[in-house]
Amino acid sequence: MVALKRRAVITAIGAGLVGAAALAVRPRDKGAPHAEYFARASKALRAAGIATPTMVIDRDRLQANARQVMRNVNGRLPLRLVAKSLPCLSLLDLLMQAMQTRRLMVFNLPYLQQLAAQRPDVDLLLGKPLPVAAAAEFYRSFQRGQFQPERQLQWLVDTPQRLAQYRDLAMAQQLDMRVSLEIDVGLHRGGVDSAQMLQQMLAILREEPRLQWAGIMGYDAHVAKLPLASLREKALTEAKAIYRDYAGIATQGMRASSAADALVFNAGGSPTYRLHDGSGAANELALGSALVKPSDFDTDLLQDLTPAAFIATPVLKADRRFQMPIGVEVLGDAARAWDVNQEHVYFVYGGNWMADPVSPAGLAASGLYGNSSNQQALLGSGAQQLQADDYVFFRPRQSESVLQQFGDIAVMEDGRITERWAVMEAMP
């Protein structure tokens, strides 16, 4: 009898310990109402009568980011803004003025055509090699005005074969074309990857006077993505060494026809622009996304910049207990019982974007209920205090393509919506 009682006590203690451990790992309430910043943004949107999913750019934060980048660069290298990451002419205009540059990097034919026509004083560098048919279409449709392609446009080529195609186009249509060479500095996404390949391309350039060598582009985004500081340091050292070697070979090989001080040696990007200080071969930096800082750019090198772009969308249905559809209700019951943050469900206008909810705190998509591009379900504890027609704010993971999904951008300044900016058409 005593043994049985002792066993019962031990069993009860064990069950209590298991229960205590379960309570310790049970999710705590993560919910809270909008913080002051998003409460003010909600008032601004409501005052502006905005009732659909909308991309909001905080002009004050945007300009602060531009000033911080300028301080970081400190005049050591000129900047080139990446149009695909900032796909809005008004946005580009503001940043070009703030950052004292007319240099843009463009990645597709429609943007090239639009910028040449509507911003004829800019200097354009292709950020990826386009099929020669795209180049031919540009010249076919180009309405000559202030923009002068032979002076203001650099095509990007990555192989001897593509360069030969551009040569044939230049010869056939009697075009003077500036050409930059894409080099592989470790990303392994294409481009010149050997001195032999580079020499083949230099030979084509030397032999065809209608092709002018304009410089080199080497993209090193992989450096910031590596998991260890030692790997990042090694990759950066190798990238700079490759760039230096190729720039030296090309400059020497083209000395008779190109002045080194007129060449563009483009490097960097939002993740790595701070790693270039003017001591290497690169003589200009490209960046774009960092200026609005989507969440994919939350890195140590960009921690001095502030998120400046958000998706705001109205709540359509609120104050509902989270339930799974008929037939699997038990799953919803279990989720609510285990996690207070799955107690309530809110359905918002639209959804399933490349973005994550950031305000009010503690909202998350349901792994059980699934995603919807029509009415996204977001779960929370109820501490968010959301009602129908309130706003939920999402932070984009990237800027390119996402900024263009919502029509005109709402520009917020000093707690008010002051402008609407038309976006460029979404293009790959």
Q: Which of 48, 92, 53 is nearest to 424 (CA)?
A: 92
Structure-block tokens of residue 381: 């504890």
DSSP reduced 3-state for 396: strand
3-state helix, strand, coil in the chain (%, to 5): 40, 20, 35
| Same structural domain, 389 and 356 | yes
Q: Of 252, 287, 322, which residue sits at a domain end?
A: 287
Q: Residue 319: what pLDDT?
A: 77
**Domain ranges, residue 333:** 32-54+307-421
Asked whether residue 70 is domain-assigned, the answer is no
Neighbour tally for 21: CB within 10 Å: 10
Say how far apart CA 178 and CA 176 lie, in whole Å. 7
Say how far apart CA 150 and CA 129 lie, in whole Å. 17
Neighbour tally for 227: CB within 10 Å: 7
Q: Residue 362: what pLDDT?
A: 95
| Same structural domain, 275 and 132 | yes
| Same structural domain, 45 and 163 | no
Per-block average pLDDT, block size 10, for the chain (428 residues)?
Answer: 48 45 73 96 98 98 98 96 98 98 97 97 98 98 93 98 98 97 95 97 97 96 92 95 96 69 91 94 97 96 97 94 85 86 93 97 90 94 95 97 96 97 90
Q: Residue 16: what pLDDT?
A: 46
| Same structural domain, 278 and 322 | no
Asked whether residue 43 is domain-assigned, the answer is yes
Q: Residue 326: what pLDDT?
A: 84
Say how far apart CA 350 and CA 409 lie, in whole Å. 16
Q: Of 259, 287, 315, which residue sits at a domain end?
A: 287
Say how far apart CA 428 and CA 425 lie, in whole Å. 10
What CATH number did the domain enclosing 45 receive? 2.40.37
Q: Residue 31: what pLDDT?
A: 87
Residue 261: which region, alpha, beta or left (left: phi > 0; alpha: psi -120 to 50)? Answer: alpha
Say how far apart CA 328 and CA 324 lie, in whole Å. 6
| Same structural domain, 370 and 265 | no
Q: Residue 52: what pLDDT?
A: 98
Q: Residue 323: what pLDDT?
A: 84
What CATH number did the domain enclosing 220 receive? 3.20.20.10
| Same structural domain, 332 and 249 | no
Q: Residue 95: what pLDDT?
A: 98
Asked whether residue 185 is domain-assigned, the answer is yes
